[in-house]
Amino acid sequence: MQLVFATNNLNKIKEVQALIPEHIKLLSLAAIGCFEDIPETQNTIEGNAIQKAEYIKSNYGYDCFADDTGLEVDVLNGEPGVFSARYAGKQRNASDNMNKLLNALQDRSNRKAQFKTVIALQYNNQKYTFTGICKGEITKNKHGEKGFGYDPIFKPNGYEKTFAEMDLSLKNSIGHRGKAVSQLVALLNS
Ligand code: IMP
């Protein structure tokens, strides 16, 4: 059977494909002829993941899953959260986003934060959501060159390195997205 992963990131698709049963073939958005911007107009991470999965199911007819991720900072009442990608503006620039966050936390001693990924799945006429959380703190400066987004300023609890200083395999094994994906994989394997 076929299952759409609502992304065009082929690396993400490859990673998940390797973990799920062989009879489930993952398709990208391009593979089903979807080249439009899928609406993401909800005000929660969970809402956006569900909206994307429902959009594909109702407009293209495929079983589907979609993910959405945000960085939630304690003293900012969970911001940037659902606005993580465009925190510093429409240009969606990672460096601008990090600078804005470092400024917002200047002189703040509580730097606790968490990454949250929600995966919404539409499968065999059922709907599911899976949440993966990684708790940590925002560093005072950027460290490391690996990864993407806010990785250079996020240090997960229990480690002395930021995500941007870690190998991808370590980040995946302790990270928010990896935790949500393992729950998805467990459901598909059940
Ligand atoms: P998306 O939902 O995966 O597109 O993520 C939304 C935004 O959150 C991205 O543009 C990044 O800025 C940030 N983000 C998501 N996942 C990560 C991560 O694993 N590390 C750092 N930043 C991330």
CA of 84 to the centre of ligand 1 (A): 7
Instruction: Over range 3-7, report the average pLDDT.
Output: 95
| 37 part of the active site | no
Q: How confident is the model at residue 11 (pLDDT cuts 50, 70, 90)?
A: confident
Tokens standing for 147? 């990864």
Q: Where are the domains of the chain?
A: 2-189
CA of 116 to the centre of ligand 1 (A): 9
Instruction: Over range 67-79, report the average pLDDT.
Output: 97
Pairing relationship of beta strands 64-73 and 112-123 according to DSSP bridges:
antiparallel
Q: How far is CA 92 from the centre of its chain?
A: 15
Residue located nearest, by CA, to atom 23 of ligand 1: 149
Instruction: Over range 3-32, report the average pLDDT.
Output: 90
So what's the architecture of 2-189 in CATH? Alpha-Beta Complex (3.90)
Instruction: Please report the pLDDT score of residue 39 as a whole number.
Output: 93
CA distances from residue 138 to 6, 14, 28, 88, 172 in whole angstroms, order as listed: 29, 30, 33, 17, 19
Residues with CB under 6 A from ligand 1: 68-70, 84-85, 94, 97, 147-151, 163, 177
- Look over the chain and give the mean of its residue pLDDT values, rounded to a whole number: 95
CA of 63 to the centre of ligand 1 (A): 24
Q: Which of 37, 63, 67, 68 is catalytic?
A: 68
Residues 97/150, Cβ–Cβ less than 8 Å: yes
How does pLDDT run across 81-106, given as a tens digit for each residue?
A: 999 999 999 999 999 999 999 999 99
